[in-house]
Amino acid sequence: MTASADDDTAGLPRAPEVVQIEVGLLQNFCEILYCPDTHAAAIVDPAWEVDTLLREVLRLGLKVELALITHTHNDHIEGVDELVAKTRATVVVNPREARAVSAPGRALTDAIDGRDIAIGGRGVRALETRGHTVGGTCYLADGYVVTGDVLFVGGCGRTDFQGGDTAAMWQSLQRLMRLPEETRVYPGHNYGETATSTIGHETRTNPYLRCATFEEFRALRERKRKA
């Protein structure tokens, strides 16, 4: 581990509450992040079962204000149109991938690296984590991080799709490893032995994070064309 000169956690807002929901046939995870005081909510990567997500929103008495996009592969954004139509949520997305979720009259907010995004009285911070895609974004809260298809429990995202970049993925994973080890990881798919993990557990057990060098990482990533 390198020293955290660039401390991504400095001055983080209070963390939203988080509910993880598995949807669809590709073991996608969506999260509902919400402020228990104002009842404002954000949905991460709305897809496949927007009705299921909105049922949970209703049960918790929340109002969806934001859709947070980790990246714009179809299995993560397939439900954006339906969610926006039903809630008028603002879509938060990295500018490099905004085209995929733009629509006339739709409100977009840039997920720029380091920007804090308010969810009621709570908030998360956008971390640009390229490698799986050109504008991949993790959302960091005080105590957890939503990692999309960058970091999975026991794995990491593929880099051989369009816009993929193995060197950028390595850098992104190194950055995530500098987070406090108790930081809980909420991945974009249920591919691991458990639904969530921690940065510390992944650092110790995830073969991609255990690579000592970029060359080792690249060789492993190329051997395992999966996820």
CB of 182 to Zn ion, least distance (A): 27
Q: What residues are paired with 123 via a beta bridge?
A: 118
The torsion of the CA quartet 196, 71, 4, 201, rounded to 10 degrees, works out to 20
Nearer to Zn ion, 73 or 130 (CB): 73
Least distance from C-beta 60 to Zn ion, angstroms? Answer: 27
- Pick between residue 65 and residue 149 the one whose CB is nearest to Zn ion: 149
CB 9 within 8 A of CB 179: yes
Q: Is 89 exposed, middle or buried (CB count within 10 Å of its CB: 0-12, 13-18, 19+)?
A: buried
Is the Cβ of residue 89 or residue 156 nearer to Zn ion in the bound state?
A: 156
Which residue's CB is nearer to Zn ion, number 134 or number 195? 134
Residues of this chain that bind Zn ion (CB under 5 A): 73, 149
CB of 38 to Zn ion, least distance (A): 31
Residue tagged 């026991």 (tokens): 154
Shortest Å, Cβ 162 to Zn ion: 11
Question: Which residues, listed in sequence order, are joined to residue 212 by a DSSP beta bridge?
Answer: none
